Structure 1
């Protein structure tokens, strides 16, 4: 396992200096899932939810969250994202909502945290909008699926 990059030689947390790194096109894709009762999912899909379009709100929340990642995660660099995309799909058989977030830029540091933040906040937004109907929804599988660019190159998770 490689050394932790956010810990200096004295063992203190610090922001990594990326000033000497080359700009490269970097992209990351992350996901999060929300498990709910079929009745809750049906309410969302029918458009009858009293709070409005749950998925549209979650998409916007995810995009906004990606842009605010450096404000939320203490040692993240503020990034000029060139693309943030949040896609939501539904598996009615398992009554599960899957959120996939893609973040992209040309820069000196990766966008994994932005993608993970986008997916997480979109899932939290779905929970928030539906908690009056169902409080025992489960948010899970928040994980990095793939990243490209930078010195460490291409990563693709071996997931289901």
Structure 2
């Protein structure tokens, strides 16, 4: 059974000591989706939202969120990110936007939380900028898609809901 690393032997929350870990290259990719009405989707896709460039603002928000993860998530380490990219895939048939956040660093701990926070911040920004048109948007399936580096090795999310490590 896996051990909860953020809990000490007395059950208290703790920040994990990574001072003895090797500094290695680490990458994490996270994904999430937002589904919206056809009217709202068309406005975003065509740049017609009155608040401005929705995807441009969401990209910046995602990068800013990833950079500030340690301020938002208790017990996360402050990491010096060497890359953070937020990309969008438009799914016209489903009126859905897929957000992908890729984060890299050289460090003693992984960047999974930074990638997940980046996706979440981007999705929330899209919601905020579009809520005047569609309050029934749904954020969904925010997940770690891939992790490379570190002691636990390579992880790839499989759509079946099961995980694969190796």
TM-score by length of 1: 0.98
CA-CA distance at 1:13 after TM superposition: 0.4
Residue 149 of structure 2 corresponds to 149
Residue 53 of structure 1 corresponds to 53
For structure 2, list consecutive stretches of 5 or more residues without a partner in the other structure.
161-166
Residue 97 of structure 2 corresponds to 97
Secondary structure, in 3 states, of the residue corresponding to 2:93?
coil
Aligned mates of 1:62, 1:9 — CA distance in 2: 35
Secondary structure, in 3 states, of the residue corresponding to 1:61?
helix
1:114 aligns with 2:114: yes
Root-mean-square deviation (CA), in Å? 0.7
Aligned mates of 2:10, 2:49 — CA distance in 1: 53
- Per-residue displacement from partner, 1:60-103 (whole Å, max 9, x unpaired)? 00000000000000110000000000001100001100000000
Residue 124 of structure 2 corresponds to 124
Aligned mates of 2:106, 2:46 — CA distance in 1: 40
Residue 24 of structure 1 corresponds to 24
CA-CA distance at 1:45 after TM superposition: 1.3
Aligned mates of 2:63, 2:79 — CA distance in 1: 13
Aligned mates of 1:86, 1:48 — CA distance in 2: 21
Residue 7 of structure 1 corresponds to 7
Secondary structure, in 3 states, of the residue corresponding to 1:132?
coil
CA-CA distance at 1:144 after TM superposition: 0.3
- Per-residue displacement from partner, 1:17-40 (whole Å, max 9, x unpaired)? 000000010000001100001110
Aligned mates of 2:40, 2:130 — CA distance in 1: 7
Aligned mates of 1:63, 1:154 — CA distance in 2: 23
- Number of aligned pairs? 160
